[in-house]
Amino acid sequence: VEAENKLTASLLGGSQHEALKKRLQELFDYPRVSVPEQRGGRYFYLRNTGLQNQSILFVREGRTGPERVLLDPNALSPDGTVALTSTSVTRDGALMAYTLSKSGSDRQEIFVRDVATGENRPDHLRWAKFTSLAWTPDGKGFFYSRFPRPGTVSPGDENYYCKVYYHRLGEGQDEDALVYERPDEKELVFGSSVTRDGRFLLVTAFRGASGKSEVFARDLKAPGAPMRPVVTGFADVWSFVDEVDGRFYFQTDKDAPLGQVVVVDLGRGQTRAVEVLPQGKEKLEAAAIVDRKLVAIRLRNANCRVELHTLDGRPLGTVELPTLGTVAGLTGEPDQDEMFLGFTSYTYPTTPFRYDFKTGVLAPFEKTASRVDGAAYEVEQVFYPSKDGTKVSMFLVRRKGLPKDTKRPTLLYGYGGFNINLTPAFSPSAFVWLDRGGLLAVANLRGGGEYGEEWHRAGMLEKKQNVFDDFIAAAEWLATSGWTRREKLAIEGASNGGLLVGAVMTQRPELFGAVVCQVPVADMLRYHRFTVGSPSTAPPTTRSCFPSSTATRPSTTSRRGSRIRRPWSPPRIPTTGWRRGWPRNLRPGCRRPALARGPC
């Protein structure tokens, strides 16, 4: 590994590398603020001056009042590797439960801070991972999920058997009350919510990385009441939106691949779901209830738009966004007359906005001044046919006036998996490429979530080849449309996208001049044996999946002339076959090495 890193540094280092590093530091050095959250008249948000390792949590007394530091993660470790991973504030804004992780670990430790004094309470909980923090309205405690303490289960099982507990403030963790568990299905993880009136606890169960879920409810006002099933079977996605007057609103894809909102009147003991916001022609990306109105975020050709509806689904209009782009986060409550949302696009840095329901005005909560002049660039969306004729969308980002000359250096990026969207988002590093005359192309491949569940399923399991065909067709379109040619075309992907570029590199090597393969899921024949891979993928030994897993296994057929980057990420990326190409790189006379870098 040391020799491989040395080889990579010898080819990619030097004065040009230092110049690029300096430019990247300049581009990333701009102040930014997260989407605020209002609780009890206090506003909570993260602020980063530019190059801080961790953003600092601030609280503001009133929307225009003075701000102060509530929590600075940078002060928690000398190297800045302790991260604030989540927060949950009581509705009166008095207490904040929060989680910290160390050195990028999924493991979280839970603490409680008094907002007025900025001091921690004695509460300290461990063994949490991916947990929600759901306060009871009286502020006396919260529900959370945790995993077994190491040593209390068989080795390896400390990553399974998630359970929901209730923690009462001031008590030790060993006294926390067990609320819900499913020992019969050790791979399940749970999220919890409590209604504003404190009557109901809602527990949503997830199986691995899938969004498909089961939902259970408990009446907290009835001592000894059992956990009551609302939705079972893990057949569809069920996401709790909010509760108003005992009516529970859910976003689901049941009988609606593009998504819909339904309501269940649990307050009256009913469990039948009634349609409120039916499936439309565009994917329903998210929903919320603010100012007793239903806020729907839809994706139109991989761009966001915001709709307003009454609680029974009648349209009230839309919220006009700055340009085509992505809504990145939304906060607000049914009893608040303001909501906050983040907006971003390829040339628009992520900016928090405030929408006033009384006036209908959307205005920046705080403007974001990046080091990029967005007016100097342009974004175009194109559509091209894949191998089977399916129409696929792709964004092209470039400096204005860039000519089509068939020799344009082009970077094609893709992902195509896990129902993840590739919608327009600001990336400072992209401008190093754009300012040097490069074209950035981002393809919305099947397997992603941009066009709903059917689009997602069309790139899964035995249909995974569709993802590769979509990406190959994007490369062919870029060449035939006059933008670039093989020698000038590079492709890049990470994680599932690493599998993507690895597979197309082996299937169509003549199409690409360079390949950047980052943290790849490189061996689908064995991925199901590794932590997240186990519940995320079907065993490839099944009759339907084995042929596709074998055909798309780049780890055994990697080509020279690529760069593989693998930072330390053991929970997701198995240390498998792509290492096999390393020894040949070190042979005397190797002219086209596959460069790799990482501490493996």
- Write out pLDDT tens, residues 80-131: 999 999 999 999 999 999 999 999 999 999 999 999 999 999 999 999 999 9
pLDDT of 576 above 90: no
* pLDDT tier at 278, thresholds 50, 70, 90: very high
Q: Taking the CB of residue 2, how many other CB atoms lie within 10 A of it? A: 7
Q: How many domains does the chain have?
A: 2
Structure token digits, residue 528: 């199901």
Give residue 408's domain range: 378-597
Instruction: Say if CB 294 and CB 306 are below 8 A apart.
Output: no
Is position 571 within any domain?
yes
For residues 406 and 290, membership in a common domain is answered with no
Q: How far apart are the first and last CA of the chain?
A: 7
Q: Which residues pair with 300 in a beta bridge?
A: 303
Mean pLDDT of 124-142: 97
pLDDT of 206-221, one tens digit each?
997 778 999 999 999 9
- Domain assignment present for residue 540? The answer is yes
CATH code where residue 412 lies: 3.40.50.1820
pLDDT at res. 590? 66
Task: Compute how many other C-beta atoms are within 10 angstroms of the C-beta atom of residue 154.
Answer: 8
- Beta-strand relationship, 247-252 and 238-244: antiparallel
pLDDT digits (tens, 9 = 90+) for 166-186: 999 999 999 999 999 999 999
Same domain, residue pair 335 and 447: no
539 has pLDDT over 80: no
Regarding whether 474 and 426 lie in a shared domain, the answer is yes
Could you tell me the CA-to-CA distances from 140 to 90, 168, 232, 264, 344 in Å, in that order? Answer: 10, 6, 31, 28, 38
- Span 241-252, average pLDDT: 97
- 144 neighbors 134 (Cβ within 8 angstroms): yes
Query: Model confidence over 403-451: pLDDT tens digits?
Result: 999 999 999 999 999 999 999 999 999 999 999 999 999 999 999 999 9
Q: Are residues 286 and 365 in the same domain?
A: yes
Q: Do 462 and 317 belong together in one domain?
A: no
pLDDT at 525 over 80: no
Q: What percent of the chain has pLDDT over 90?
A: 81
Task: List the alpha helices (DSSP H) in 111-247.
Answer: none
- What the block records as the tokens of 226 is 């059992």
What pLDDT score does 358 carry? Answer: 97
Contact 503, 522 (CB under 8 A): no
SS3 467: helix
Q: What is the pLDDT of residue 516?
A: 93
Considering the domain architecture, whether residues 351 and 482 belong to the same structural domain is answered as no
pLDDT at 567 over 50: no
Tell how strand 37-39 and strand 42-48 pair up: antiparallel
Domain boundary among 370, 389, 404: 370
Mean pLDDT of 495-513: 95
pTM of the model: 0.90
Question: What's the pLDDT score for residue 1?
Answer: 74
pLDDT in tens, 345-361: 999 999 999 999 999 99
Give the domain-ending residue among 370, 391, 421: 370
- Give the integer Cα–Cα distance in Å for 523 and 525: 5
Angle at the Cα of 416 from the Cα atoms of 415 and 417, rounded to 5 degrees: 105
164-170: Cβ within 8 A, 24+ apart: 164/190, 164/192, 164/203, 166/141, 166/142, 167/110, 167/123, 167/125, 167/141, 167/142, 167/143, 168/140, 168/141, 169/95, 169/112, 169/121, 169/123, 169/139, 169/140, 169/141, 170/121, 170/122, 170/123
Mean pLDDT of 272-280: 97
From 338, 370, 402, the end of a domain falls on 370
Query: Which element (helix H / strand E) includes 213?
Result: strand 213-219
Residue pair 458/447 in contact by the 8 Å Cβ criterion: yes
Please indicate, yes or no, whether residues 540 and 578 belong to a single structural domain of this protein: yes
Residues 491 and 520 in one domain: yes
Per-residue pLDDT for 553 more than 70? no
Label residue 13 by pLDDT band (50, 70, 90): confident
